Chain A
Amino acid sequence: MRTAKIIGLIAVLAFAIIFPQIFSNPAVITVAIFTLLYGTATVAWNIFSGYTGYIALGHAAFFGIGSYALAIMCVDWGIPGGNIPLMLVPVAGLIAAIFAVPLGWISLRVRKHTFVVITIAIFFIMQPMAFNLRSITQGSIGISLPIPHWDHVPFHLPFYYYALGMLIVAQIVSWWIRNSKYGLGLLAIRDDEDRALGLGVNTGAAKLAAFVISAFFVGMVGALHAYFQGSIYPAFAFDPLFDIAVALMGFLGGLGTLSGPIIGALILEPTQRYFTMQFSENGYYLIIYGALFLGIILLLPEGIVPTLGKYWNKWKDSRNGAPLQAGDMDAKVQGNGPAKDEVRS
């Protein structure tokens, strides 16, 4: 079982690495880059929201901060297009993380229900800031980033591998947290925060740390996204649909699971790109997106990975001839099941 998993993992990685060689069409690579970016963002979002159960719907604020941080650094320091902006992407992520400290501290003073509302409110307040702080952000005119160019390498390739690298790092961090004592503390917060506190988990610091880690990666995603797009505007850098997209991918794949966010992003991002291309006319795109969202949450509230895991366990039990005990399924499904979850990518 274990070797099969490792072989599978290596196969997936190898495929991801040679992907640009197989599909040289720039449009396909572009979709792949967006998928990797959203995958990273969803993995990062899951580190906080999935593990602690605090659903954050304001991570687009960190996406925006990351993209503006990179754009402002590039313009102010007169940095030419090329590799330097790529090196500055982690710095932009760090800036987003620094912003996340006070924002997280304020919003985490309340429990789950109010927390969601506060994250939404914070997002809606950051967006007008980008419009209004004209001296820094140039308002609605937006900022143009340096045009990337590379010698002897196609335009898309460095972005693709950079995004892939980000996704892998984020996934390793997620995996490490999931298997560490710290991660167990986060899961304990999700299941019963007061009991976790009673058992000696420093819940406040643990939540804030997870929030900052996820903001760091989302900020990096925003920065790379901005560099790839070439220019940013307040309305696109701070996009409420980003929050919804990330949450939707997390829920579709399976909240709190390791592989769920990636699977969710792999399925949804290309679908979304397709719909945007087909129905970019105002309105239809929003309706399809909303309907998709409703369908996923009402029909598959647990997400793909936990549901598959449930069937896998059921099938294995029936093959072993062990009679299924009453309440057996519940025990496996309880708490969204990541702790007992066997499926990992």
Chain B
Amino acid sequence: MKLVVDAIITGILTGSIYALMASGLTLIFGVMDIINVGQGALVILGAYLSYYLEQNFHIDLFVGLLITMPAMFLLGVVLEWAFIRPIKRDRTTLSILITFAIALIIEGLLGIFFTNNVVQLQAWYVTASLQVGDFYLAYVYIFGFILSVVLLGGLYLLLYRTKFGFSLLASMQDRTSAQLIGIDVERVSAITFGIGVALAAAGGMAYGATFAFNPGSLYDLISRLLVIIILGGMGSLRGALIASLGMLVIEDVTSVLWSPVWATTVFFVLLIVIMVVRPQGLFGRLEARKQ
């Protein structure tokens, strides 16, 4: 029983990290109708940037985010401008292929610069843990959870309390109408993509501190992230949050009760069940007819 409770707590804490990455992905889809298959690669890139800063300049991982997140935001804006904006027709399909290509290039570059050896981010809070009653929790999980709460709270305020947020939500609802009432949808798209990539950087740091990774980890990550956003409903932030917490809790509980080998397979079974019962995901809207 203790193990199960432990697994649930770990699941919620790691789930919050996945929520960071998945919210970036689902936000980009909601606004731009673009599925950023490169999100997994960008997460790993963020993790390696934190690793680089920590190894070479001894910058603390969380302080390093002040550098990596703006840098990744800029990278996102550039990627959007250079590769996504030129697509004129068949945006969704072509964007998947293009972001897949970007992921391959990032994987290749990371392999050259950092080799394919598995690394993990180092800091005092990665190894130290906090004792609460009978439970031991590594500080990094708690800090990661706080980071997710702060960033997602900030995202919430940005979306629902600022003028930019309103124009973003308007573009999400209807791109053409948003354009007609004078919203610069292209600018909103670029910034959204940047935000999504910056969230990937933050998620990458937390991921890299809790799991060992190498450039090939992006495949594992992107498959989980895709399942999460399908389950939550494409384009639904709330769905992405609930799905990532739910999935990670279920995965951790499965690995305790059954076997870690089959934990990821639970993703598959859940995906099938949800697709059969509710094809639009938990919080998704049915895809309306597009003219």
Contacts and interface: CB of A to CB of B under 8 A. Distances in A.
Given A113-B92, A125-B223, A194 B289 contact: yes
Given A120-B223, A286-B107, A55 B101 contact: no
Interface stretch (A28-36, A40-48, A140-148, A291-299): A291-299
Nearest to B275: A106
Contacts of B112: 282-284, 287
Nearest to B34: A113
A124 B221 CA distance: 10
Nearest to B89: A301
Contact of B230 (A121, A123, A128, A289): A121
Interface centre among A132, A286, A293, A298, by most B CB within 10 Å? A286
B287 interface: yes
B143 interface: no
A240 interface: yes
A134 B219 CA distance: 21
Interface string A99-141: 0000000110111111011101111110011001000000000
Contacts of B37: 120
B217 interface: no
Interface centre among A106, A112, A118, A124, by most B CB within 10 Å? A124
A205 to B, nearest CB: 17
A240 B93 CA distance: 17
Which size class do A's interface residues fall under? 35 or more
B101 A293 contact: yes
A31 B231 CA distance: 42
A73 B27 CA distance: 46
A287 B35 contact: no
Interface stretch (B69-77, B126-134, B204-212, B257-265): B257-265
B268 interface: yes
Interface residues of B, number: 54
A128 B266 CA distance: 12
A204 B272 CA distance: 18
Contacts of B223: 120-121, 123-125
Contact of B92 (A112, A194, A282, A289): A112
A283 B108 contact: yes
Contact of B229 (A117, A194, A282): A117
Contacts of B242: none
A80 B91 CA distance: 50
Given A240-B219, A285-B108, A109 B276 contact: yes
Nearest to B274: A106
Nearest to B221: A124
Given A57-B96, A301-B87, 20 more contacts: A116-B35, A117-B35, A117-B226, A117-B229, A117-B234, A124-B226, A125-B264, A125-B271, A282-B116, A283-B108, A283-B110, A287-B104, A287-B105, A287-B108, A290-B101, A290-B105, A294-B102, A297-B94, A301-B88, A301-B89
30 contacts: A113-B234, A114-B234, A114-B281, A117-B226, A118-B230, A118-B275, A120-B37, A120-B222, A125-B268, A128-B264, A128-B265, A240-B219, A244-B100, A247-B97, A282-B116, A283-B107, A284-B112, A286-B104, A286-B111, A287-B108, A290-B104, A290-B108, A293-B98, A294-B98, A298-B83, A298-B87, A298-B98, A301-B88, A301-B89, A301-B90
The 6 closest A-B pairs by CB, nearest first: A124-B223, A286-B108, A290-B104, A290-B105, A283-B111, A287-B108
